[in-house]
Amino acid sequence: MSSPTRVPAKPRRLALRAAWTLVGVLFIASFWGLDLEWAKLWELPSDVWHYFGLMFSDPDWSKLPEALFQTWRSVSMAWVGALVGVVLATLLGIPAAEGVGPIWVRLPLRWMFAVIRAVPEVIIAIILLTVTGLTPFTGALALAIGGIGTHAKWTYETIEATPTGTGEAVKAAGGNRMQMVRWGLWPSASPELMSLGLYRFEINVRTSAILGLIGVGGIGDMLTAYTQFREWGVVGMLIIVVIVVTMTIDAISGRIRRRIMEGAKSRDLDRIV
C-alpha cells in the first residue's frame, strides 16, 4: 500500500510582506530626513553637465608639475600606510585565527579589529592631528591604523580557510604553535595574504586623496584648495591626474596579484603531480 502524498505547506508570505513594507518605509523616511529640494534635483543633470564643461573643456595644465608632486605624496602615504598596516595586521591577525590562538587571545583581538573598522580613516586622521599635526605622516599613520581592522580580519579568515593537514602534521611531529604556523599554515596562506596586501595598497591610494581634504597633504589637499577658489580648469586637470594615476596603479597591482595567485596554483599542482 503506497504512503499518502504529503502536500507541501504554503509558504508564509506575511513575514516577507512585512519585511518589504519595513524596507519601503525606511526608504521613504530616509528621503524625508534628507530634506531634498525636488526642484533642484531635477536641475541636477544640467548643473553637472555645466561644471563638467568648466572642468574638462579646457583643463589648466600649468599646475601639472605641482599636481604630480602632490600625487607622489599621496602614493607615498598610501604605500607607507599599507606597509606598516599590513605587517601589524598580519602579526595580530594570525593569533586571532581559530586553531592558532586561544580564545582569550582571539576574542579581544577580534573585538579590537571590529572597533577599528567602525572608525573611518578620516576620523582617525583628525584625532591624530592633535599629536602629529598637518603632515603627510599623519595621513600615512591614519591609513596604517585604519587598515589594521580590515586586513587583520582578512588575515585570520585566510588562515582559517587554509587546509589544516600540514599544520596537524607539524604538531604531530612535536612542533610547537609557532612552528605549526610557520611551516604548516604560512606557506599555503602567504600567496593570498600578499595579494590582499597589494589590494590594501590600492584602497589606500584612493583613501589618501580623501585624507588630503582635511589638510594632511597630497593631491586631495590641492584639489580642495582649487575647488574653493573655483578654478575649474585646474580642478579638471587634477581629476584627470587622479584618475590616470589610480587606474595605472590598479592595473599594475592587479597584474602582480594575478601573478602571485597563479604562481601559488602552479606550485600546488606541482605538489599533486
Name the residue with cell 519601503.
24
Supply the Cα-derived Rg of the chain in whole angstroms: 25
84 pLDDT exceeds 80? yes
Local confidence band at 250 (pLDDT 50, 70, 90 cut-offs): confident
Superfamily of domain 59-272: MetI-like (1.10.3720.10)
Q: With beta carbons less than 8 A apart as the criterion, state whether 117 and 150 touch.
A: yes
pLDDT band at 161 (very low <50, low <70, confident <90, very high): confident
DSSP state of 183: I
What value does the mean pLDDT take over residues 245-273?
Answer: 73
Confidence band of 88 (pLDDT split at 50, 70, 90): very high
Cα–Cα distance measured from residue 125 to residue 81, given in angstroms and rounded to the nearest whole number: 12
Q: Cα-flanking dihedrals φ and ψ of residue 249, to 5°?
A: -65, -40
| Single pTM value for the model | 0.77
Residue 108 pLDDT: 92
pLDDT band at 110; cut points 50, 70, 90: very high
Determine the pLDDT at residue 269: 46
- Residue 124, pLDDT > 70, answer yes
In percent, how much of the chain has pLDDT > 90?
Answer: 21
4-13 CB contacts, 8 Å cutoff, 24+ apart: none
12 pLDDT exceeds 70? no
Q: How much is the pLDDT for 133?
A: 80
Domain boundaries, the chain: 59-272
What does the mean pLDDT of the chain come to?
A: 82
Pick from 18-32, 149-163, 196-210: least confident: 18-32
What is the tens place of the pLDDT at every residue in 172-188? 666 666 767 777 677 77
Question: Of 76, 87, 78, which is closest to residue 204 (Cα–Cα)?
Answer: 78
Q: For 29-43, 66-80, 257-271, which range has the lowest pLDDT when averaged over its residues? A: 257-271
pLDDT, tens digit, 9 for 90 and up, residues 195-226: 888 889 989 988 888 887 787 878 888 888 88
